[in-house]
Structure 1
Amino acid sequence: MAETIDDVIDVLSGIVSDARRDADRVGYFAALYRQVTVEIRAGIRDGLFDDGPRMDRFDAVFGNRYFDARDAWRRERGGPRCWREAFGLLADPDAVIVQHLLLGVSAHINLDLAVTAARIAPGEEIHGLRRDFLLINDILARVLLAVQRAVGEVSPYLWLLDEFGGRTDERLLDFSIRRSRQEAWHNAVLLAGQGEAEREVTAGLLDVRAGVLARLVARPGGLVRPALALIRSGEEDDVPKVIAHLDRAMAAAG
C-alpha cells in the first residue's frame, strides 16, 4: 500500500514495466497515470499547492484506490463496477487505445476522486481543499495534451470518431474530464458531510453511474462501432511499443 506520492510513482512504474514485459494493455492507463502523478509531485515540490503535505496524502489515498481495484480484479474479477469495465476490456483485441485510457480516467475521476477528497478533508475541511483540487485540472490538461499527441502517432485514424458523430479524443480527454472533475467536487462536498454508513451508500450510487458511463465507452453503439473498427485497423499492434510511446509523452513534449 502506498503511503506517499513517491510510493505511488514507484508502484505505477512497476506496473508499466511489467506491462511492457507481458504485453499487457493495463500499461496504457498506467503510463498516463504515472506521468500525471510525476507532474503533481513536481507541483508539490515547487509549492504550487496551498498544502503540499495534504496533497501528498491525497495522492497516496487516490493511488491506493486504483491499486486495490486492480488487485481485486486480478484476484477474483471483483472490485467497483467501473473498474471491472476497464479491466474487462484489456483482453479485447478490438478495443482501441483511447478506450483503455478513457475507461481508466473515467473510473478514477467519476468514483475515486470524490471518495478520496471526502476522506482527506471530511466535514467542513472539504472547503479548504477546493483550490488545490481544482489546480489538478491544469496539470491534467498539460499531460493529456501530450498524451493526445502520442496517441495520434500510434492511432492515426482516431479522427474518424468525429467524422462518425462521436467525440474526438481531444474533446473526450479535455472537456469531459473537466466536467467530470467539476461533478466530482460536488460529490466530494456531499460525501464529506455524510456519516460513514450514508457515505458508503452514496459511493455505491456513484459507482453505478460510473459503471454505466464505462459501458458506453467500452461498448458504444451506432456509427461509432464501425468507426472504432476502422481506427483499430490502423493502430500500432505492438503493445510494449505503444506503452513505451505513451510513457514518454511528457518527455517528448518537453
Structure 2
Amino acid sequence: MRQSAHFTTPAGVDTVVSRMRALDEALPGRDGVAVFNRVYLAVTEAVDRRIDSGRLGDARTAIALDVRFAERYLTAVDAVSDERRPPACWRPLFQFRRHPGVRPLQFALAGINAHIGHDLALAVVDACRTLDCEPADLEDEFDRVGELLGTLEERIREELMPGPDLLQIADPLTHLLGSWSLERARDATWSAARALWALRRLPELAEEFTERLDAAVGFAGRMLLTPLPEVTDRTR
C-alpha cells in the first residue's frame, strides 16, 4: 500500500513512533516490511520509554541518534512509495516482501541487518553533525541502544522461529540465520561510523565508502531472504 506522508525533517521520537504506527495499521500483516516495522516500532517505543524515565543517559544525545536512525528507514519507505530506488541495503526486503517462501523471521532480521549495518553508521555521523560532537561522544548511547536491540533480537528469534525445538535443528532457517550476528554487525557499524566521520572532509572517498557499505549490507540481506522449504515432521 502506498504511503503518502513523508518524513524529511528532524522530529521528536513521538513523531517517529506515530509514523511507524501508521505504517503498522496500513500494511498487511504478512507483508515483509510490516514484519520489520512491528519489530522496529517495539524497539523505538522501548527507547522512548527509557528516555522519558531518564534511563537512557543523555536524553538530547539519545533523541538525536534515535531520530536520525529512524529517518533512514522511513526515507527508504518513502522512496519505494514514490517509485524511487531505496538504498541497496533495503532493496532485498522490498523486493521479497510478499514472497511466500520467505518466513517472518527472515523479514525481521533482513530489516535489522539493513538498518543496523548501513543506516546506523550514517545516523551516527548525522547525529554528530547535529550535536556538533565526535562519534566517541555518542558511544555510550550507541552501546545502550545496541544492548536493547540485542535483547529484542533474542525475543524475535524465540517468537518467530517456527516448529518445535527438535525440528529447528533440521530446519534450513536455523543454519541460514546462524551465519548472521547482531553483535558482529554492531561492531562493524561502529567502525564504519568512525571511518565515515574521519572521511567527512574527503567527500568523494566518503561517498565511495558509503556506496560499498550499502552494497555489502544489501548482499547480506539478500542472503537472509533466501526462500526456504518448510520442514515436515517425519516422526509422525
Are the aligned partners of 1:28 and 1:101 in contact in 2 as well (CA < 8 Å)? yes
Q: What is the match of residue 222 of structure 1?
A: none
Using the alignment, how far apart are the partners of 2:189 and 2:166 within structure 1? 29
Change in 2 beyond 3 A, CA 1:201/1:26:
same
Change in 2 beyond 3 A, CA 1:51/1:218:
same
Q: What is the match of residue 178 of structure 1?
A: 183
Q: What is the match of residue 229 of structure 1?
A: 229
Q: If the length of structure 1 is used for normalisation, what is the TM-score?
A: 0.77
- Return the structure number with greater helix share: 1
Q: 1:146 aligns with which of 147, 152, 155?
A: 155
Aligned residues: 221
Q: What is the match of residue 193 of structure 2?
A: 188
Change in 2 beyond 3 A, CA 1:132/1:207:
same
1:130 aligns to 2:135 (yes or no): no
1:5 aligns to 2:13 (yes or no): yes
Change in 2 beyond 3 A, CA 1:24/1:214:
closer
| Shift in Å, 1:201 | 2.0
| Shift in Å, 1:145 | 2.8
Q: What is the match of residue 41 of structure 1?
A: 48
Change in 2 beyond 3 A, CA 1:171/1:94:
closer
Using the alignment, how far apart are the partners of 1:165 and 1:229 within structure 2? 8
Write the mapping of 1:110-121 to structure 2, written as runs, cut at 5 A: 110-121=117-128
Change in 2 beyond 3 A, CA 1:189/1:26:
same
Specify the code of the residue in structure 2 equivalent to 1:214.
G
Using the alignment, how far apart are the partners of 2:200 and 2:150 within structure 1? 34
Q: What is the match of residue 250 of structure 1?
A: none
Q: 1:107 aligns with which of 108, 114, 128?
A: 114
Write the mapping of 1:60-99 to structure 2, written as runs, cut at 5 A: 60-76=67-83, 78-99=85-106
| Shift in Å, 1:161 | 5.8
Are the aligned partners of 1:83 and 1:104 in contact in 2 as well (CA < 8 Å)? yes
Structure 2 residues not aligned, in runs of 5+: 1-6
Runs of 4+ in structure 1 off by over 6 angstroms are: none
Post-superposition Cα deviations, 1:208-254, rounded to whole Å, max 9, x if no partner, equal 111111121123xxxxx6xx2115x89xxxxxxxxxxxxxxxxxxxx
Q: Which 10-residue stretch deviates more, 22-31 or 209-218? A: 22-31
Specify the code of the residue in structure 1 equivalent to 2:45.
V
Report % sequence identity: 24
Using the alignment, how far apart are the partners of 1:51 and 1:159 within structure 2? 45
Change in 2 beyond 3 A, CA 1:114/1:49:
same
Q: Which 10-residue stretch deviates more, 51-60 or 183-192? A: 51-60
Q: 1:58 aligns with which of 65, 83, 89?
A: 65
Structure 1 residues not aligned, in runs of 5+: 220-224, 235-254
Say what the alpha-carbon RMSD is for the aligned residues.
Answer: 2.6
Are the aligned partners of 2:32 and 2:93 in contact in 1 as well (CA < 8 Å)? no
Using the alignment, how far apart are the partners of 1:163 and 1:33 within structure 2? 29
Specify the code of the residue in structure 2 equivalent to 1:147.
I
1:15 aligns to 2:23 (yes or no): yes
Using the alignment, how far apart are the partners of 2:27 and 2:136 within structure 1? 39
| Shift in Å, 1:72 | 1.2
Specify the code of the residue in structure 2 equivalent to 1:25.
G
